């Protein structure tokens, strides 16, 4: 019996000691796992590495390039008096539609970045004022600044704020709505600048920085990569729009418009212009105008006062699997020539409908945006070598590019500033039958509106019938064009709609 008790006691002692040992072990481990250590002097340098041109690992650090680029990116404030349209009683004033917040077809693509921080005060008898903000990039130490056209379109006052908080009034040196670019100038010397680099050398996956002033948060830098090249998102509704965007996932928002997209050397590879978003804010997709297009536009404005753009004179679409199957094509890349326009430069060189454009000046062409970008860098009279696939055989042609009028002449600044072309409208004389039906002596009907002064500065709709200009009656398209070409300053159009009662007035300015 005593032996059993001693054995039981010994067993209990061993179990107790063992249990205490286990508890002690886990208790000690628990104490170690909760220990907090403080490390002084944590290095601020990046521990992420990338590869240089030679494949050597180098630290990925954005601080130096950010400091350099911010100095050359400016804040732009543009002010515009908002014209109004009134009903027959003169009381139905309507606000000018915002040209920078167009939503196209509900497809989630939001027009270019824009902010309108101030609203007109109620009861104010003065015309309401539209205030917009954006960004710009200094490209010349003598004060030339590149931005988006939509940032300064129809602006009556443009104020530039530099990174060092100095402010200047700017004048518009030239614009190119087709690429959504504008060139401004301020009176200043010795400014910090950004060099334009060859955007053809930009690679998908390359690190980039976006610099601008989103939501009035000046000098904001975000990082990302180049997500794609030669993107066409059909956001520019100009009649001769050129879209071949660099796509990036660097965060850009309203106010970034006109800002810089740069590589890690601080070279300007693009001007930020648009986002794809269902909310109007950043959703991961931003788009920039390639620097090679920017360079062409700037050089032409400085040399000629207006952009010289060569055209092939073809209607085109990108080749894909569906088109290849439908047309029984033996290629799935390239640009298909649907038809030739009148006085087509391509047609004169021997290119035919059904041809597939494969190369331009030795550069491969896989899509419509790529072809648009290559041709947009050329001028009327320039010769380009075009290789096509015609029914399985490759053929080479040398095309002398035309201008939009179907000849090779350079366009003068006066031609580019034709009041009618700036208005963005297609007029047609009202027929005697239509005039009699509406019980008016005559007029000019607005058949088509394109982006331009009338669309940006008024709420005019297609179908408006102009009966008077500044109180002077007009009965034909020729009368109207003659009056407008002589005008300078403010213009008041008076007229009616067939389906809306009352007389309507639309005011705008001709520079």
- Exposure b/e, 405-443, CB count within 10 A at least 16 = b: ebeeeebeeeebeebeebbbbebebbeeeebeebebebb
Tell me which residue of 92, 195, 100 sits closest to 140, measured CA to CA.
195
CB contact at 8 A, 255 and 215:
yes
Overall size of the chain counted in residues: 511
Determine which one of 66, 227, 257, 344 is catalytic. Answer: 257
Catalytic residue chosen out of the listed positions 66, 78, 135, 150: 150
Residue 417 falls in the annotated catalytic set: no
Q: How far apart are CA 201 and CA 40, in angstroms?
A: 43
As a whole number of angstroms, the distance between CA 199 and CA 270 comes to 8
Cα–Cα distance measured from residue 120 to residue 48, given in angstroms and rounded to the nearest whole number: 50
Report CA torsion sign: 500, 446, 503, 492.
positive
Per-position DSSP letters for 29-42, written without gaps between them = HHHHHT-----SS-
Three-state helix/strand/coil letters over 201-219: HCCCCCEEEEEECHHHCCC
Helix axes 291-304, 368-376, angle to 10 degrees: 30
The single residue listed with the structure tokens 């948060």 is: 217
Look up 257 and say whether it is catalytic: yes
Closest CA to 78 of 113, 36, 43, 123: 113
| Cα 478 to Cα 48: distance, rounded to the nearest angstrom | 67
- CA 405 to CA 49: how far, in whole Å? 53
Catalytic site residue from 110, 154, 163, 180: 180
- Contact at 8 Å (CB) between 93 and 85? yes
Transcribe 393-418 into DSSP letters.
EEEEEEEE-B-TTSS-PPPPHHHHT-
52 tagged catalytic: no
The set of catalytic residues is 150, 180, 257
């Amino acid at each position: 019996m005593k032996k059993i008790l001693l054995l039981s006691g010994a067993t209990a002692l061993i179990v107790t000691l063992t249990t205490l040992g286990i508890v002690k072990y886990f208790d000690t481990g628990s104490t170690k796992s909760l220990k907090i250590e403080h490390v002084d002097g944590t290095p601020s340098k990046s521990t992420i590495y990338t590869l240089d041109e030679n494949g050597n690992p180098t630290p990925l650090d954005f601080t130096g390039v950010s400091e350099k680029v911010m100095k050359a990116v400016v804040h732009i404030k543009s002010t515009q008096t908002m014209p109004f349209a009134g009903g027959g009683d003169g009381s139905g004033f309507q606000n000018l539609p915002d040209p920078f917040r167009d939503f196209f077809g509900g497809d989630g693509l939001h027009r270019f970045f824009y902010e309108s921080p101030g609203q007109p005060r109620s009861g104010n008898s003065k015309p309401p004022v539209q205030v917009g903000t954006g960004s710009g990039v200094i490209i010349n130490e003598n004060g030339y600044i590149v931005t988006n056209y939509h940032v300064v379109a129809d602006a009556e006052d443009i104020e530039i704020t530099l990174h060092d908080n100095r402010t200047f009034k700017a004048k518009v040196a030239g614009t190119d709505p087709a690429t959504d670019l504008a060139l401004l100038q301020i009176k200043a010397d010795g400014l910090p600048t950004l060099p334009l680099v060859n955007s053809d050398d930009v690679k998908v996956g390359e690190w980039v920085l976006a610099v601008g002033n989103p939501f009035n948060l000046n000098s904001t830098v975000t990082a990302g990569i180049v997500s794609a090249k030669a993107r066409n998102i059909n956001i520019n509704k100009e009649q001769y729009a050129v879209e071949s965007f660099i796509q990036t996932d660097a965060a850009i928002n309203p106010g970034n418009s006109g800002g810089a997209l740069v590589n890690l050397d601080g070279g300007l590879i693009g001007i930020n212009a648009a986002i794809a978003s269902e909310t109007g804010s950043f959703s991961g997709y931003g788009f920039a105008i390639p620097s090679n297009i920017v360079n062409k536009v700037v050089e032409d404005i400085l040399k000629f006062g207006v952009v010289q753009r060569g055209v092939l004179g073809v209607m085109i679409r990108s080749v894909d699997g569906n088109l290849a199957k439908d047309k029984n094509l033996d290629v799935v890349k390239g640009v298909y020539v649907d038809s030739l326009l009148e006085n087509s430069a391509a047609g004169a060189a021997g290119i035919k409908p059904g041809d597939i454009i494969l190369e331009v000046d030795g550069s491969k062409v896989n899509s419509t945006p790529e072809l648009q970008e290559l041709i947009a860098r050329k001028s009327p009279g320039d010769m380009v070598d075009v290789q096509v696939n015609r029914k399985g055989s490759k053929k080479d042609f040398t095309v002398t590019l035309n201008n939009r009028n179907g000849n090779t002449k350079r366009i003068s600044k006066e031609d580019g500033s034709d009041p009618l072309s700036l208005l963005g409208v297609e007029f047609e004389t009202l027929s005697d039958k239509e005039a009699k039906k509406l019980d008016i002596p005559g007029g000019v009907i607005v058949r088509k509106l394109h982006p331009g002064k009338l669309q940006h500065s008024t709420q005019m709709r297609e179908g408006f019938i102009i009966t008077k200009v500044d109180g002077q009656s007009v009965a034909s398209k020729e009368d109207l064009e003659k009056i407008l070409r002589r005008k300078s300053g403010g213009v008041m159009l008076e007229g009616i709609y067939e389906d809306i009662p009352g007389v309507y007035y639309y005011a705008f300015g001709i520079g």
